[in-house]
Amino acid sequence: MGLLDQVIGGLTGNSGGSSPIQSVLMNLLSGRQNDGGYAPTQAPMGTGGGLGGLLSMFQNAGLGHIAQSWINKGPNQPVSPQQLQNVFGEDRVRDMADQSGMPRESFLQQLSHHLPNVVDRLTPEGRLPDEGSISV
d(CA 136, CA 123): 15
pLDDT in the model for residue 42:
42
Q: Which CATH number fits domain 3-122: 1.10.10.10, 1.10.10.690, 2.60.40.10, 3.30.70.100?
A: 1.10.10.690
Longest C-alpha distance within the chain, in Å? 36
Residues 6+ apart with CB under 8 A from 54: 28, 29, 41, 43, 67, 119
Q: pLDDT tens digits, residue range 50-78?
A: 889 999 999 999 999 999 999 999 999 99
Q: pLDDT tens digits, residue range 77-132?
A: 999 999 999 999 999 999 999 999 999 999 999 999 999 999 998 898 888 876 55
Q: pLDDT tens digits, residue range 9-45?
A: 665 555 555 677 888 888 888 775 444 434 443 433 3
d(CA 123, CA 33): 22
d(CA 84, CA 90): 10
What's the predicted TM-score (pTM) here? 0.76
Is residue 95 a contact partner of residue 118, using CB atoms and an 8 Å limit?
no
Residue 4: band (very low, low, confident or very high) from pLDDT cuts 50, 70, 90:
low
Residue 121's nearest CA partner among 25, 23, 18 is: 25
Helix axis angle for 81-88 and 104-122, nearest 10°, is 80
